[in-house]
Structure 1
Amino acid sequence: MTETSETSGEYLHAKARGRLRWNKVPEVTAYFWIIKVLCTTVGETAADLLNERLGLGLPGVSVLMSVLLAAVLVVQFRTDAYRPGVYWLAVALISVVGTLISDNLTDNLGVPLVTSTAVFTVVLAVVFAIWYGREGTLSIHSVDTLSRETYYWLAVLFTFALGTAAGDLVAEQLALGYWVSAVLFTLAIAIVAVGHLALGLDAVLSFWIAYILTRPLGASIGDYLSQPAGDGGLGLGTVVTSALFLACILGLVIYLSVTRRDVAETEPMTPQRG
């Protein structure tokens, strides 16, 4: 889409004030949640696939994917508005990296899942506390400055790491199986939705709780599809499962890039603290 001179002028004026006209993240629609779950599924299966096929081990794969994520985030930070392709590529990669962080702590360092879950919870809480203390909001509808975008992506990273650890903790201790775990996390998300829509639970709090819960939901779906039948899965394998979900993500991202149905302008200026 071509910018007019007026739009360019507004953008430059906003940028001069350290604030962009356009939000750097998508509007929260059904498309947002569908792609988010698809990305979390890919994060689970792709992490397993890369670890199996590249022969680099968890540390090597973690370094490789972290470098790729850093490169995509540089592009994301340099954009002046939400770009579906760049944004969702970053989410997919951060899903893989978040999974690998948790897996490295558990498999290579022997950190108990209870401990890693507690640590990621504290770290995420600290990120939120600093973000709110500096910006006066945790809303994703106002991710329109460099600092807010930095806090946003830090929060996203640790929601994936926390969701991975918490999901593995539930799956291992309760031994519910992949399909039952997926249903359990779906019900948990539904409870949050009812709390927000019917009981007045804060919108920002509801969003971030649901965002965390979609990680183990996506992982449970990915494991159910990819793992052998003897282990409680459908036996599609990590290659087929990853390719299937990546194709779905690509199709939706292309659709949103063309229609711009999830693009939103920023909220009115909110007071910044600190």
Structure 2
Amino acid sequence: MGEALSDFLVTRFAPVPTVLITAVLFAVILIVQLRADRYRPWLYWGTVSMVGVFGTMVADVTHVALGVPYAVSTPVFLAGLVAVFVLWRRVEGTVDVHTITSIPRQLFYWAAVITTFAMGTAAGDLAASTFHLGYLSGGLVFVAAMIVVVLARATAVLGPVTAFWTAYVLTRPIGASFADYIAVPHSRGGLDAGTGLVSAVLLIAIAIAFTVSWKNSTQPAPSAGTVR
């Protein structure tokens, strides 16, 4: 969704003010999230959605506006992500998401999240454009990598924290590649559904998934002796 909506906004409206407005909106919702006294699903997922859009814009601005090749921006974003994890681990002792219970750990977490979106967008475009795989084949390469991670976790080759974050990072280029494949014109190897339609469909899907999940989480626990 972040890939499609970002592309839709910057191509339909003036890019500079669009990116600046998105950055402000992201900063506002992130501050509200950091100030929250407990986990609020709508606020957390709203922040994630804004990160998806803004993180994609960061990667696109780096390439389009600054002229940095994907072959350069992708490893730079990766190095930034590794630096976040190393610093997070050194300062807090762990990068396990179940331990994010303080403002400093939240800051490390959101820094990692936004960097994964920027790197994922750049990596998807690197595979599709620079390596000439196309969006579909590029996306399938990242899906194959995800399968390897799942198998490595299932066989205990990877620990839970390493497997989680590796899979988490891979969701970014997977999402970006398939969003582009569905949205971009036939001339670029896509299905030409359009970024507007893809954004709308995925926003609706996110809203439905969130609503179902929220309703299930608020159901009362079964009483003793109840069989389900």
Consecutive unaligned residues of structure 1, counting only runs of 5 or more, are 1-41, 262-274
Contact kept, 8 Å, 1:163 with 1:212, in 2: the verdict is yes
Counterparts in 2 of 1:189-268, with a 5 A limit?
A: 189-260=146-217
Residues 138-147 or 73-82, more deviating: 73-82
Residues 177-214 of structure 1 show CA distances to partners (whole Å, capped at 9, x for unaligned) of 22222221111101011111114312111111111111
CA deviation vs aligned residue, 1:33-92 (integer Å, no higher than 9, x gap): xxxxxxxxx1111111101112x22x3222111111111112211222222211111111
Residues 71 and 130, structure 2, Cα contact 8 Å, conserved in 1: no
Q: TM-score by structure 1 length?
A: 0.76
Identify the residue that residue 146 of structure 1 maps to in structure 2: 103
Q: For the Cα contact (< 8 Å) 1:99–1:161, is it kept in 2?
A: yes
- Matched AA of 2:116: T
Distance, in Å, in 1 between the alignment partners of 2:188 and 2:82 is: 35
Matched, 1:45 2:22: no
Deviates more, 1:179-188 or 1:143-152: 179-188
CA displacement, residues 2-56 of structure 1 (integer Å, 9 cap, x when unaligned): xxxxxxxxxxxxxxxxxxxxxxxxxxxxxxxxxxxxxxxx1111111101112x2
Alignment partner of 1:100 is 2:57: yes
Cα drift, residue 159 of structure 1 = 0.8
1:178 paired residue number: 135
Q: Distance in 1 between matches of 2:77 and 2:63?
A: 13
Work out the percentage of aligned pairs sharing the same amino acid.
39
* Structure 2 Cα separation of the partners of residues 230 and 105 of structure 1: 24
Amino acid paired to 1:226: A
**Whole-angstrom CA distance in 1 between matches of 2:66 and 2:150:** 37
Match of 2:173, SS?
A: helix
Deviation per CA, 1:210-262, whole angstroms, max 9, x where unpaired? 1111111101111121112332222211111110000000011112222228x
Give distance in 2, aligned partners of 1:111 and 1:177.
20
Partners of 1:168 and 1:230 in 2: CA distance: 16
Task: Give distance in 1, aligned partners of 2:212 and 2:40.
Answer: 12
Structure 2 counterpart of 1:100, one-letter code? M
**Count of residues paired in the alignment:** 218
In the alignment, is residue 127 of structure 1 matched against residue 79 of structure 2?
no
- Give the partner amino acid of 1:130: L
Q: Report the residue type matching 1:193 in the other structure.
A: V
Unaligned 5+ runs, structure 2: 219-228
| SS across alignment from 2:37 | coil
Q: Secondary structure of 2:121's partner? A: helix
Q: Name the aligned partner's letter for residue 231 of structure 1.
A: R
Partner Cα distance (1:183, 1:138) in 2: 28
Letter aligned with residue 53 of structure 1: R
Distance in 1 separating the partners of 2:137 and 2:31? 39
Instruction: Give the 4+ runs in structure 1 shifted more than 4 A.
Output: none
- Cα distance in structure 2, aligned partners of 1:117 and 1:48: 18
Q: Which residue of 2 aligns with 1:29?
A: none
Q: C-alpha separation between the residues in 1 aligned to 2:66 and 2:126?
A: 16
Do the aligned residues in 2 keep the contact of 1:178 with 1:224 (CA within 8 Å)? yes
Question: Matches of residues 21-36 of structure 1 in structure 2 within 5 Å?
Answer: none
